[in-house]
């Protein structure tokens, strides 16, 4: 993984992997300042391991936003669960 690099003036202009990954969630939610977002984007473009983390996070978040495809619990299982809950609560 890369290390933080400095320009001739000594100012840090690139993020290291740890710093970029810490910002990844905020980067994906577009909650970073434009300057920091650009620094994270630049790092992600240059660092294959961090880019893989970005792609994984993007796919994971997309799956979370995708509604279940009509998958439903079988009626027999639902009935068994309801019966067990009623029995535990002391109901009929």
Tens of pLDDT, residue by residue over 41-86, are 999 999 999 999 999 999 999 988 887 667 788 999 999 999 999 9
Mean pLDDT of 7-24: 75
Q: What's the whole-model pTM score?
A: 0.60
Residue 88 has, within 13 A of its CA and on its CB side, a CA count of 6
Percent of all residues in the chain with a pLDDT value above 90, rounded to a whole number: 65
In degrees, rounded to 5, the angle at the alpha carbon of residue 56 between the alpha carbons of residues 63 and 67 is: 0
Query: Where do the domains of the chain lie?
Result: 17-89
Query: Which phi and psi angles does 12 have, rounded to 5°?
Result: -70, 125
Residue 27: its pLDDT value, please?
A: 97
């Amino acid at each position: 993984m890369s290390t933080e690099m400095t320009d001739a003036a000594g100012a840090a202009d690139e993020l290291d992997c740890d710093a970029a990954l810490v910002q990844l969630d905020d980067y994906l939610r577009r909650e970073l300042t434009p300057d920091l977002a650009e620094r994270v984007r630049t790092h992600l473009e240059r660092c294959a391991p961090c880019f893989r983390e970005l792609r994984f996070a993007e796919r994971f978040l997309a799956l979370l936003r995708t509604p279940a495809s009509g998958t439903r619990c079988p009626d027999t299982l639902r009935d068994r669960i309801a019966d067990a809950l009623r029995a535990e609560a002391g109901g009929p």
